[in-house]
Amino acid sequence: MRLINRTPGRLTATALGVLPFLILLLIYGLASQQRLAENPNDKLLPGLEQMTAAVDRMAFQEDRRSGDYLMWVDSLASLERLGMGVGVAALMALVVGLANGVLPLVRANLAPLVSALSMVPPLAILPILFIVFGLGELSKVMLIVIGTAPIMMRDVAQRVRELPTEQLIKIQTLGANSWQVVTRMALPQVLPRLIDAVRLSLGPAWLFLIAAEAIASTEGLGYRIFLVRRYLAMDVILPYVIWITVLAIVIDQCLRLTNRKLFPWYNAGGH
């Protein structure tokens, strides 16, 4: 049988998926053990015991200065910023994407601007955002919006334009006006695609959030990572990176399950 036609079973696929993680953990464990054997005070590759102690200190013990549980305070602050930024970006993408996809006049007017904005490196305009919006929450949220909204707008608009022309002809034949075309034909079919676009934008959104927090913030996951780096506190940095990854995976899976639950017809089509 050709390799291209060999499909692994569920158990085999799970084992193959877990294998790279186990290999990485093994390599890290061996390297950490070797470095700590040579220098017990080595900070570059902390052992499991050191990282467990750091997590206990950051997540389950009150900070002596503020009295807060720092890891949870940082997580809440970052998730609030991420939620606001991605939420606003998704709403803008839905409105502008639908308009660009359905209305030729709007597309002629806004599509070039959206395309141009999607090419602007968001981190390059971070100083401008700090100057215009200050160092507060708004500049961080705006960075996420500017970094993710244009891409999602283009994705939604493309999805609308891919809808069968027969649907557009039929709904107009039945007497639908432009508003009804948008709300009754395009919108229901675009919503699941929008959720997929949000899922794809989570990675860049986290990147922009952490960059903004690292430069100007007093709490947040990115802020904490860049704060402790001056002490080479890898026992804090690595668990924080793993925690960010876990949060991103949980959010992604929640969106995937939401999409599957609300739009079973979309997922049945192989999306």
Q: Is the dihedral of CA 221, 226, 228, 233 positive or negative?
A: positive
Shared-domain flag, residues 250 and 188 = yes
Residue 112 burial (10 A CB sphere; 0-12, 13-18, 19+): exposed
Q: Is the pLDDT of residue 90 over 90?
A: yes
128, 234: one domain: yes
Mean pLDDT of 120-146: 91
What is 213-246 written as a DSSP string? HHHS-SSSHHHHHHHHGGGT-HHHHHHHHHHHHH
149 lies in the same domain as 235? yes
With respect to residue 100, please indicate whether it lies within any of the assigned structural domains.
Answer: yes
Give pLDDT tens digits for 175-218.
Answer: 888 888 888 899 999 999 999 999 999 999 999 999 999 888 88
54 part of a folded domain: no
| Number of structural domains found in the chain | 2
**Statement to judge: residues 245 and 132 lie in one domain:** yes
Q: Are residues 19 and 148 in the same domain?
A: no
Residue 204 within any structural domain of the chain? yes
Spell out the residues 6+ positions from residue 61 whose beta carbon is closer than 8 angstroms to its own: 69
Is 218 found in the same domain as 137?
yes
- For residue 218, give the CATH number of its domain: 1.10.3720.10
Report yes or no on 93 lying in a domain: yes
Asked if 106 and 224 sit in the same domain, the reply is yes
Q: Which one-letter amino acid corresponds to residue 158? A: Q
38 and 75 in a single domain? The answer is no
Over the stretch 45-85, which tens digit does the pLDDT of each residue have?
898 889 999 999 999 998 888 888 999 999 999 999 999 99
7 domain-assigned: no
Residues 23 and 118 in one domain: no
Residue 52 within a domain: no
Domain that holds residue 197: 70-267
| Per-residue pLDDT, 7 | 86
How far is residue 172's CA from residue 162's CA, in Å, rounded to a whole number? 17
CA–CA separation, 198 and 204 (whole Å): 10
Pair (142, 38) in one structural domain: no
Question: Are 160 and 29 in the same domain?
Answer: no
How many other C-beta atoms can be found within 10 angstroms of the C-beta atom of residue 96?
Answer: 22
3-state class percentages of the chain: helix first, strand second, coil last, to nearest 5: 80, 0, 20
Whether 165 shows a pLDDT value over 60: the answer reads yes
Of 111, 113, 87, the closest CA to residue 98 belongs to 111
- Are the beta carbons of 90 and 194 closer than 8 angstroms? yes
- pTM confidence score: 0.87
Q: Is residue 214 part of a domain?
A: yes
How does pLDDT run across 233-243, given as a tens digit for each residue? 899 999 999 99
Same domain, 87 and 218: yes
Average pLDDT over residues 151-155: 94
Does a structural domain hold residue 249? Answer: yes
Take residue 228 and report the two structure tokens written for it: 């402790």
